[in-house]
Amino acid sequence: MARGALASFHYQTDPFGSHLWLLLPEHWQADAFSAMAANLGVLVTPASSFVMTGHQTCSAVRLCLSHEASDERVTHGLATLSRLLETDRPGAYPV
């Protein structure tokens, strides 16, 4: 599902894993992207949550794909994230 929905974007994952790291376009900061995604009903975690204080991190978010009750919810969430990634500036989410 993620491969199809996020085909235009950069991400890293183990093919047998249940999560992936989504690398964000330059105009997005991970905290802002996570907050906007949460406002749209999709929870993702900024990479900074996994880094020790004082260390640098890339602009990425972690998507966990294994805790949803249905494939439809995963598909909807991935589509929402894809549309959000396509916006050219944070805060300008397409209707």
Domain count of the chain?
A: 1
Q: How far is CA 81 from CA 22, 32, 51, 53, 84, in A?
A: 10, 13, 23, 27, 5
> pLDDT tens track of the chain, all 95 residues?
877 887 788 787 788 878 888 999 988 889 999 999 999 999 998 877 766 676 566 788 988 887 777 888 888 999 999 999 988 666 555 54
Structure tokens at 39: 């406002």
In a domain, 33, yes or no: yes
In a domain, 93, yes or no: no
In a domain, 95, yes or no: no
In a domain, 66, yes or no: yes
In a domain, 74, yes or no: yes
pLDDT of residue 95: 44
pTM of the full structure: 0.79
In a domain, 73, yes or no: yes
What burial class does residue 82 get, using C-beta atoms within 10 Å of its C-beta: 0-12 exposed, 13-18 middle, 19+ buried?
Answer: middle
Residue 14 neighbours by CB under 8 Å, 6+ apart:
none
The separation between CA 5 and the C-alpha centre of its own chain, rounded to angstroms, equals 11
Q: Find the domain containing 41 and state its range.
A: 2-9+19-50+57-86
In a domain, 72, yes or no: yes
Q: d(Cα 47, Cα 57) in Å, to the nearest integer?
A: 7
In a domain, 14, yes or no: no
Structure tokens at 67: 């805790």
